[in-house]
Amino acid sequence: MRRERRGSTSRQAPIAPPLGSGRFMFILLAIGLATAILIGRITLLQVIDRPFLQSQGDARTLRHETIPAHRGMITDRNGEPLAISTPVVTIWANPQELPDDAIQRIVLAQALGMTLDDFEARVARFSEHEFMYLRRQMTPAAAQQILNLRTPGVYPQREYKRYYPAGEVAAQLLGVTNVDDVGQEGLELAYQPYLAGHPGQRRVIKDRRGRLVRELGVINEAQPGGELTLAIDQRIQYMAYRELRNAVVENDADGGVLVMMDARTGEVLAMANLPSYNPNNRAGLDPRGLRNQALVDVFEPGSVMKPLAMAAVLESGVVDRDAMVDTSPGWMRLDQFTIRDFRNYGELDLAGILEHSSNVGMSRLALRLSDTAIWEKYNQLGLGQAPGTGFPGESTGSLPAPVRWSRSERATLAYGYGLSASAVQLASAYTALANDGVRLPPSLLRLSEPPQGILAIEPTVANDLLNILETSVAAYTGGRRARVEGYRVGGKTGTVRKIGQQGYTTDAYRSVFAGIAPISDPRIVTVVMVDHPKAGEFYGGAVAAPVFSSVTGNALRLLDVPPDHEVE
C-alpha cells in the first residue's frame, strides 16, 4: 500500500488573466489613429499638395530643350555650296558638380587642350554659377573623347557651325556668322531671318546630374532655314579672284576690285575683293579684308565715265556724229584750273576723243551742253543712287546736284572727276551700253526671269558707243591689253589720281577698266579697279586691262559663248 505524503499537492503552469477591456481599446485606438494619420498624409500628398509637389519634381527632372534649326545653305547659281552648316558639339560644365579629385581635373584639362592653371582659373571665375563653357564647336569625334572620360559635371550641347568651301575667294560677299550661328556680315547678315530658320523644342526627363533619362516627345519641330541661291558662278568667281590677286601682287598694289555682270539680266556673276580673309579661320584677321569694296567703297571713276558722258553729247544733238573737236594745244585753262591731255592730239572726232581719252575734248563738248545735261544722264544711269542689292552698307556714291555749277565743274564731271561711284554702280551703268540703252539693276541673287530695266540711253546712241568702245581697245590704243583672242570686246581705261591731305596726289593712282564682251551680242560687263599700284606701271590700260582680258576670255568660254572674231 502506497503512502501519500501529507500536505503535498501537484503543480501546474499559471494561466494569464484575460486582457482587460481598457487595454484592448487603447491598442485598437492607437492602430486606428496611425491608420488615419497615414491616410491623411497620403491624401495630403496625393490630392491636396499633388500639383505643387509635381511641379517641384518636374522642375528638377523635366526639361524643355531647344532643338537647333539647321541654317540654310548658300549656293552659287549652279547649286555649288558656298556656305553650309555642319553639326558640332559644345562641351559645358556645372562648376559646382566638377570633381575635387586632382587627377580627374588634370586629365580633363589635358583633354580640353588647356593647362591645369588655365582650367582652374576658369572654374574659379564661374564657381558661383551652374553653367560655363569649356570648349565651343568641337567636332563630334573630338568631343566624344572628352565625354568618354565620364567626368561628373561635364555635359554636351549639340550645335551647328558655318563652313565656307570657297574660303577667301567670296568672303566679303557671303559674310560670316558668329559662334552662335547668327549672321554678322554680308549676305549672312542681310538674309539672317530667312537663313536662320526657327528652332524647335522637346520635353525630356533628366536626372540630378543633367543626364538624359527619357525623351517625352517633341513639342515643336525645328524649321530649317531657307536656301539662298546667288547669281555668282563659282568657277568665274575663282578665276576673277585669282587674276585680281595676281595683278595686285605683280603691281605691288594696296588692293583691288572686280565685278562682272550678266549684260542681259543684271545678275552679278563674279565679285572679287582684295585684301581678303579666310572666314573659316579668322585668327590674325586684317579688318580691311572684311569690307566688300565692290559695294561699300566708292571712288572717283575717272575716264571710264567718258563714254557715258558722250551719250549725253550724242543725244543732245549739239554736234554731229562725225563732228571734229580741236584739242590743241593739249591743254586748256578754265576757272583758274588747267585741264591737260597726255599730249597734243590736235583735231579729234568723237571716237578719237574716247580712243585717246582726251580730257580737253570731253571738256569742250561738255561746255556746249546745258548745265544739267551730263548730270541728268548720270542720274538716269543710276549714279548717286543706291544699287538696290540689299547688301548691308551698300553705298549710294556721290553725284552733286547741279546748283550754281562753275564751268570747270561741268567739264571735270564729263571726264569722271567730281563724283564718286562703286564698282557695282559702274558695271550697272555700262549695261545700258550693252543692252540697247536699257540699264539693268544689279542682282546678287539668281533671277528666274530678267528684271524690268530702265531706258537710260537712246538705243541708236548706245549702239554707236558700243562700236566706239571696240575701237578704244584696238591694237594702237592704250586699252589694247584688254583684247580677248577670238572675241570682239570693247571698253574704256581710266587712271585716277587719289586724293591726299593736300588734294590730288601725283604719285598715287587707281587703275580702272570697264568693258563689254562680245561686241556682236553682249553677254558680260566687267569693271576692274586696282588700288595704288606701286611697281612702276599705273595706267588703267597697263594694270587693269590685262585682268579684264584674262577673266573675260575664260568667262566667255565657260558660258559657251561662241567666238565672234577671227583668231589673229
Distance of CA 34 to the CA centre of its chain: 74
Position 565 scores a pLDDT of 78
Residue with cell 538716269: 380
**Hey, what's the cell of 315?**
543725244
d(CA 253, CA 543) in angstroms, rounded, equals 10
Least confident of 43-47, 162-166, 438-442: 43-47
**What is the average pLDDT score of the chain?**
88
Q: Select from 298, 299, 291 the least CA-distant residue to 173.
A: 291
pLDDT digits (tens, 9 = 90+) for 182-203: 999 999 999 999 999 887 777 7
Position 501 scores a pLDDT of 81
Name, in order, each residue with C-beta under 8 angstroms of 48's C-beta and a sequence gap of 6 or more.
Answer: none
Q: What number does CATH give the domain 65-229?
A: 3.90.1310.10
d(CA 516, CA 470) in angstroms, rounded, equals 9
d(CA 76, CA 230) in angstroms, rounded, equals 5
Name, in order, each residue with C-beta under 8 angstroms of 104's C-beta and a sequence gap of 6 or more.
Answer: 149, 151
Tell me which of 3.30.70.260, 3.40.710.10, 3.10.450.50, 3.40.50.970 is the CATH number of domain 234-279+288-558: 3.40.710.10
Task: Examine domains 65-229 and 234-279+288-558 and report if their fold is the same.
Answer: no
The yes-or-no verdict on residue 339 having pLDDT over 60 is yes
Beta carbons within 10 angstroms of residue 318's beta carbon:
14
Element (H, E) at 525: strand 524-531
* Stated length of the chain: 568
Catalytic residue among 8, 10, 85, 303: 303
Amino acid, single-letter form, for residue 280: N
Is pLDDT larger for residue 353 or for residue 8? 353
d(CA 440, CA 381) in angstroms, rounded, equals 9
Tell me what the mean pLDDT of segment 455-465 comes to: 95
Is pLDDT larger for residue 82 or for residue 450? 82
Beta carbons within 10 angstroms of residue 9's beta carbon:
5
SS3 180: coil
pLDDT digits (tens, 9 = 90+) for 528-540: 999 999 998 999 9
Position 256 scores a pLDDT of 97
pLDDT digits (tens, 9 = 90+) for 234-270: 999 999 999 999 999 999 999 999 999 999 999 999 9
Position 462 scores a pLDDT of 96
Element (H, E) at 189: helix 186-190
The yes-or-no verdict on residue 15 having pLDDT over 60 is no
SS3 50: helix
Tell me what the mean pLDDT of segment 91-115 comes to: 89
User: Mapped to the 3 state alphabet, what secondary structure does 433-501 carry?
Assistant: HHCCCEECCCECECCCCCCCCEECCCHHHHHHHHHHHHHCCCCCCCCHHHCECCECCEEEEEEEEEEEC
Our answer to whether residue 303 is catalytic in this structure is: yes
**Strand-strand pairing, 524-531 and 503-517:** antiparallel
Distance of CA 302 to the CA centre of its chain: 29
Name, in order, each residue with C-beta under 8 angstroms of 317's C-beta and a sequence gap of 6 or more.
Answer: none
Tell me what the mean pLDDT of segment 390-403 comes to: 92
Burial 468-484 (b: 16+ CB within 10 A, else e): bbbebbeeebbbebbbb
The yes-or-no verdict on residue 218 having pLDDT over 90 is no
d(CA 88, CA 318) in angstroms, rounded, equals 68
Position 2 scores a pLDDT of 45
Quick check: 237 and 558 in contact, CB under 8 A? no
Position 3 scores a pLDDT of 46
Confidence grade of residue 307 (pLDDT, cut at 50, 70, 90): very high
pLDDT digits (tens, 9 = 90+) for 344-374: 999 999 999 999 999 999 999 999 999 899 9
Query: Would you list the domain boundaries of the chain?
Result: 65-229, 234-279+288-558
Amino acid, single-letter form, for residue 180: D
Residue with cell 555700262: 430
pLDDT digits (tens, 9 = 90+) for 468-496: 999 999 888 889 999 999 999 999 999 99
The yes-or-no verdict on residue 460 having pLDDT over 60 is yes
Tell me what the mean pLDDT of segment 113-134 comes to: 89
d(CA 520, CA 515) in angstroms, rounded, equals 14
Q: Residue 83: what are its φ and ψ, rounded to 5°?
A: -150, 120
The yes-or-no verdict on residue 1 having pLDDT over 50 is no
pLDDT digits (tens, 9 = 90+) for 496-516: 999 888 788 888 999 999 999
pTM: 0.83
